[in-house]
Amino acid sequence: MRANRGRKRSAVVRAATAVLAVALLATGCGDDTETKAAPAKPSPTRPAWNTHPASIASLGDSITRGFDACSVLEDCPEVSWATGTEVDSLARRLLPSPQTNSWNYARTGARMADLPGQMRAAAAHRPELVTVLLGANDACRRNVADMTPVEDFRADFEKSLRELRTSVPKAQVYVAGVPDLMRLWSQGRKSLIGKQIWQLGNVCPSMLHDADATDEAAVARRAQVHHRVGEYNAVLRDVCSKDALCRYDGAVNGYDFTGQELSKWDWFHPSKKGQGELAGMAYRTVTAVDRPAA
């Protein structure tokens, strides 16, 4: 009897061991060479860009205010490329009622340091699209040494986007490149009247002062301004590229403004025709299905 019980006990142990081994193989435990596959993480989706926003807030400087487009030394927001009602502006192309669903917070003479304040004012309307065209005044100073440092320019632009994202996280942003001031100089210097106005009116002296001078100092001065504008545009492009709902438009910097597209009063700011060209560039970028290549 004792021998039979021993045989039965051994059989039970063997059976239990076999069941445990099967269980271990089934769960993968006990096998040091096998690793469980990590669960797939859901891929982040880029927020959809609305090609026809229902409201617009425009920020910037004298260009967006339509300065010198209608009369000498006067703002003329009615012909602004962004929100104007007397030109085929971006607002008129996109909105059924631009008079009630667009706001122009640009200010003549504004620099990038003014953008955070403009952004706070615009955010109160919770716009679906914010446009920014700013930076020329940061380069257009009395002396090249007075131009806004690039790091300050970046800090104020980043701060402005943070202001917007805190208040209106889903707002879209269109950022126009800073116009090519060297090209404006090359166009305007063809006009005797234009050069006289530049000198008398102190228009962008860092670039336009003594427009016919070709000595080494004058050439170096203009080159410094041109280089700084390039650095500003690189900042706008870089910061904007990191925001899924921001589009930078380098076409504005690359556009070859002609005499007809410049104000007949200062040969620097866009005329009504020039404002229309800016509106067209903005419209193409805003209504593109995919983010245009910078």
98-130 pLDDT per residue, tens: 889 999 999 999 999 999 999 999 999 999 999
Per-residue confidence (pLDDT) for residue 11, from 0 to 100? 44
201 in a structural domain: yes
Q: Which domain holds residue 120?
A: 56-287
DSSP per residue over 179-236, as a string? P-HHHHHHHHTT-HHHHHHHHHHT-SHHHHTTTT--SHHHHHHHHHHHHHHHHHHHHH
CA angle 219, 221, 223 (to 5 degrees): 70
227 in a structural domain: yes
177 in a structural domain: yes
Domain count of the fold of the chain: 1
Q: Residue 268 is encoded by which pair of tokens?
A: 């620097």
CATH number at residue 253: 3.40.50.1110
- pTM (whole model) above 0.85: no
Per-residue confidence (pLDDT) for residue 45, from 0 to 100? 65
Beta-carbon contacts of residue 191 (< 8 Å; ≥ 6 apart)? 259, 267
Under the banding of pLDDT at 50, 70 and 90, the label for residue 44 is low
Structural contact between residues 161 and 178, judged by C-beta atoms closer than 8 angstroms = no
Strands 246-249 and 102-104: unpaired
8 in a structural domain: no
Given a cut of 70, is residue 76 above it in pLDDT?
A: yes
15 in a structural domain: no
Mean pLDDT (whole number) for 132-157: 98
